[in-house]
Amino acid sequence: MKSINLAKDDINKLLLTFSIPCVISMLINSIYNIVDQIFIGKGVGTLGNAATNVIFPLIIIFNALSGLIGNGAAANLSLKLGENDKKSASKCVGQAISLTFIIAIIVSLISYIFIPKLVYLFGCTENVYNYALDYGKIIILGAPFMIIYSSLASIIRADGSPKYSMIMLVIGAVINIILDPIFIFKFDMGVKGGAIATVIGQVVSFIIAILYIRKIKSVKLTKEDFKIDRESFRILSLGLSSFITQATILVLFVFMNNVMTKLGASTKFGADIPLSVYGVISKINSLYISTVLGISIGSQPIIGFNYGAGNENRVKEVIRKVLIINFTIGIIFNLLFFFFPREIAGIFISKSDASYNLFMEFAVLMCHSFLLVIALNALEMTTSIVIQSLGHVVKSTAVTFIRQIILLIPISLIFAFIFNKGIYGVLYAGCVADILCFIITIFILKSEYQRLGNKNNTEIEETKIEYSKNSNKHIVITISREYGSGGRFVGQILAEQLDIPFYDKEIISLAAKESGLSASYVKNVDETKRSANYANNNDDRIFIAEKKVIQEVAKKSSCVIVGRCADYILKNNKNTIKIFLYSDDESKVNRAVKYYGLDKNKALNKIKKINKERAKHYKFYTNREWMNLSNYDFLFNVDKYGINKTVENIINIINSR
């Protein structure tokens, strides 16, 4: 198979290669729900459609939990494999599987017990209540299977088998499509039949996923790997972004369900029709959302790699093409909703249904108000993914919140109650929120786009390394130090006197070359010393690259290495002397003011903050405490000895060996 070059291959081909699998996978999840909705709508009618819509928030919760574990485990697995830490990688997979089973069973039990109350929280009406319970209880029985196979799907993709993952999902969806009409119409089981068909499809996908566990290629699992401990929660932290996104969708869906029923009750449509129509139209709209997000997510590795490598013109080109494609898709869906609302809604209801005419009238109203300018949503969805690809996770999450939480909900409430427009105010709040979000997002994307500049293939400056010809010993000195203790000066002088290479900032350019990221980006991450609270995939790539560089330079010749967890990375190297340097607060402040230009009144707080971040960074990547003295061979108070005497003491130690 021909290797993919993200820096040079044709962008159109790359987008097809990466986006198509993403789009297909996301569409399958949407189709699952749409198929149930179509057959239940035709077989049961408006109340059946409304019932599936009431239960949909539960499905969002199940998806959120599977993403929390699955995406977190996939990210952690990739990191550990990159570090060649097979033991931690296998433990990550085993713990993720155990966590998934435990959480899936607990959540399903809680949902089953409280479903009579939950359906009302999700916007259920008295007429829909029995249908919602009939459908929901069966769906909850299938929830453990759904959560487990969805979580495993992410791990399977990270293990290098995306086709297996996709086939697993497709088979489940096809079985659901085949069984829906059989159970709903032939066996006359109504909403229960639709739910049973869904669960059977999920069970089959679950079995296929479980069978893969024994085929995992990247690690070999043992019984010990499945034991849960404190490290298991790191998996959850890496999947938090996915969980937050799903939580946002959940809040909006529950809000809309409730306003549809409560405000619709005072109109000719009643409470059930608006709830039902919102559900079916939202499911069709999910095809648009899935397509745009699939293309945007597919562009992530292309944008991320070229941004990191400094190919900023190429990043701009990818962004432009993704925007053009997504806006084109948005316009197509916008036109379909505007010109063919009756045809779209007609898929979900029989003409013989008593509520057919009102159902159609509300569907047209919703398409011509709430979804009037949905093409504009393409910018918000694309921008969110693009910003995330550039490493700005917090800003990306904020963009997602703008339309759904910050704008739509408050505007809906203002139009409905302050302007006294009722349900009509909520419907028109949708297009107003879309327009405002579009305007705000233009400025956000423009600022990010302009920040990219016009760099092309930024060359990484090579670090020149000179090796001592006279050295007859192979010795590596790692220096860990408090900020302001003078550790870098000690390392420099030590390297000069021993006539061996010195590595501190020099590792940045070497790590940049190893990782494919730009030297300026690596330098920025290196200076901020991001910890578990802020780390992203590029930060992990940098640590992996620095680890490889440190191992290579330590193997090649004697050297002095400052910071960067070198003491941990080389802990099994017999030629390594691990040193920790510290000093008292007054001396650190004086040194920081004199050499680093810090404000004397703020210096101590700054020093403590930097040391705290160093400790977090060290803990995140080594699972050890930075200040644990057993990590080091020797400790020196630089103030007690002075820099030169500290260097002399270290040299004496080396000579004694």
506-540 pLDDT per residue, tens: 888 888 777 666 666 777 776 555 444 444 555 67
3-state SS, residue 561: strand
Local confidence band at 470 (pLDDT 50, 70, 90 cut-offs): very low
Q: Which of 36-40, 63-67, 199-203 has the highest mean pLDDT?
A: 199-203
Is pTM beyond 0.75 here? Answer: no
- Whose CA is closest to 579, among 442, 433, 471, 481? 481
118-144 pLDDT per residue, tens: 999 999 999 999 999 999 999 999 999
Strand 634-637's sheet: what is its strand order? 502-503, 559-562, 476-481, 576-582, 634-637
Q: Which pLDDT does position 140 carry in this prediction?
A: 97
Q: How far, in Å, CA of 44 to CA of 381, rounded?
A: 35
Q: Which pLDDT does position 528 carry in this prediction?
A: 59
Amino acid, res. 580: F
Average pLDDT over the chain reads 85
Of residues 347 and 488, more confidently modeled: 347
Locate 158 and state its tokens. 């990270």
> What is the percentage of the chain residues whose pLDDT exceeds 70?
89
Of residues 77 and 606, more confidently modeled: 606
Q: How far, in Å, CA of 37 to CA of 54, rounded?
A: 12
Could you please report the per-residue DSSP string of 209-268? HHHHHTT-SS----GGGG---TTHHHHHHHTHHHHHHHHHHHHHHHHHHHHHHHHHTTST
Q: Which residues pair with 635 in a beta bridge?
A: 580
Q: CB–CB of 228/95 below 8 Å?
A: yes
Q: How far, in Å, CA of 68 to CA of 105, rounded?
A: 15
Locate 361 and state its tokens. 């009238």
Whether the per-residue pLDDT at 200 is higher than 90: the answer is: yes
Q: CB–CB of 68/239 below 8 Å?
A: yes
Whether the per-residue pLDDT at 225 is higher than 80: the answer is: yes
Locate 214 and state its tokens. 């024994």
Q: CB–CB of 479/487 below 8 Å?
A: yes
Q: How far, in Å, CA of 640 to CA of 583, rounded?
A: 8
Local confidence band at 14 (pLDDT 50, 70, 90 cut-offs): confident
In the chain, domain spans: 49-223, 239-458, 476-656
Rounded average pLDDT over 459-470: 38
Q: Which of 269-283, 296-310, 474-488, 557-571 has the highest mean pLDDT?
A: 269-283
Give percent helix, percent strand, percent coil of the chain, each to the nearest 5.
Answer: 75, 5, 20
Secondary-structure class of domain 476-656 per CATH: alpha beta
Q: Which pLDDT does position 459 carry in this prediction?
A: 39
Whether the per-residue pLDDT at 458 is higher than 60: the answer is: no
